[in-house]
Amino acid sequence: MKIVDMHVRTFTYPSRIVRDTEGHTHPGPEHEATQSLLTVVTDDGATGYCFGAPNPAVLENVIKPAIIGEDPMYRERIWKTLHHWQRMSRDLTDRALAAVDMAIWDLVGQSLGQPVYKLLGATRDKVPAYASTMCGDEVPGGLSTPEEYGAFALQCKERGYPAFKLHTWMPPIAWAPDPTMDIAACAAVREAVGDDMDLMLDCYHFYSRADALHIGRALEELGYYWFEEPMDEFSTSSYIWLADQLDIPVVGPETADGKMYTRAEWLARGASDISRGGVSDVGGITPLMKVVHLCEAFNVQMEVHGGGPGNLHALCAMNYPGKYYERGLLHPHLDYEEVEPWLNSKTDPMDNAGNVHVSQAPGLGWDINWDYIDAHTVS
């Protein structure tokens, strides 16, 4: 079996999610947005898919020359080749690597008739989810006050979520960030849901050490489960300093570059209590499993960043489990249960006990609505 082609389809869909000037998502007026689908094809006609395709120029000039002709069973070799190409091709991002790696895993799973998590070595078929909010806003009835966070957390608890994570206020909101408001929101959520729900905070990511310590101590008082990315993750020393002083688990690194190498450095230096990474952060399922096994060897909990089938299949193949699947981002004005128009069913269906079930279909289990994509393809 050899990879003979890779191509991208771009199509439109109606969206009610907008980005602010700093890139955070919020609910907004309906508009036309675009989505892309990467397809990998082999000489025997097998196909693999991933939504969120690499930039077409990078696909043509870097990815295709590196892997056309490769056997998709040689996933480690393909991933390593692309990783080495990144040194000279800086526009080949980890996100692009992740899309290619996931499409190849999907293809192999479909060829062998097995879901990806069983090829990785399954440990479970479902994972508890936490409700992960969008960032704070100034939308009335949204996430504009501590009380609104509290009301939304209670709504998520009633839906079945066993845990809730706040993303609080950040620029471009004029008065943000504000440690006092972050703490007030965390307190309002604890007050609303009571003591039997795991709560986490992922706040502004560029606080000073003093602000981060102040917020962390307040979270300890409120019985929070973890404290995520309050400072720039490129300062490993700042995280060693913070984790040394707090009892609440500090979680990271999430967005820092460097794949499993960065996670190894954080583990060796004790920069966090719980490690982190997702398929898009580290360059696919292949490197994410290296992080998982690294954490297992250090007896360090590993919490997977972000949702989607790549992360879900990895979570169902972890022997030293991450406790939660990150479901979201959620907002009181949006219905997350609504199926994306390019799919026939959600990739992360959740039962009323708050468990997300991994697809038993071969590959990653994309349930693609081809009629929709065919009718809305623009290129």
Contacts to Mg ion by CB under 5 A: 202, 254
Helical segments of 59-125, H only = 64-67, 75-85, 94-112, 116-120
Which one, 62 or 200, has the nearer CB to Mg ion? 200
Which one, 155 or 255, has the nearer CB to Mg ion? 255
Which one, 165 or 376, has the nearer CB to Mg ion? 165
CB 14 within 8 A of CB 70: no
Shortest separation between residue 179's beta carbon and Mg ion, angstroms: 18
Residue 173's contacts (CB-CB under 8 Å, 6 or more residues apart) are 136, 137, 138
Cα gap 75→108, rounded to integer Å: 9
Cα gap 257→70, rounded to integer Å: 27
- Nearest by Cα to 36 from 12, 3, 60, 67: 12
Can you spell out the DSSP letters for 159-226? HT-SEEEEE---TTSTT---HHHHHHHHHHHHHHH-SSSEEEEE--TT--HHHHHHHHHHHHHTT-SE
Collapsed DSSP state (helix, strand, coil) of residue 6: strand
Which one, 182 or 254, has the nearer CB to Mg ion? 254
Shortest separation between residue 228's beta carbon and Mg ion, angstroms: 5
Which one, 97 or 304, has the nearer CB to Mg ion? 304
Lookup result for tokens 């009323």: 352
Shortest separation between residue 375's beta carbon and Mg ion, angstroms: 35
Cα gap 229→182, rounded to integer Å: 14
Structural tokens at position 110? 């479909």
Which one, 79 or 324, has the nearer CB to Mg ion? 324
Cα gap 264→123, rounded to integer Å: 23
Which one, 38 or 291, has the nearer CB to Mg ion? 291
306: left (phi over 0), alpha (psi -120 to 50) or beta: left
Shortest separation between residue 274's beta carbon and Mg ion, angstroms: 12
- The DSSP call for residue 350 is B
Residue whose C-beta lies closest to Mg ion = 202
Shortest separation between residue 254's beta carbon and Mg ion, angstroms: 5
Shortest separation between residue 152's beta carbon and Mg ion, angstroms: 18
Which one, 148 or 202, has the nearer CB to Mg ion? 202
Which one, 94 or 254, has the nearer CB to Mg ion? 254
Shortest separation between residue 180's beta carbon and Mg ion, angstroms: 21
Shortest separation between residue 229's beta carbon and Mg ion, angstroms: 5
Residue 65, strand partner residues: none
Residue 125, strand partner residues: none
Shortest separation between residue 238's beta carbon and Mg ion, angstroms: 16
Calculate ∠ Cα 75-357-156, nearest 5°: 125
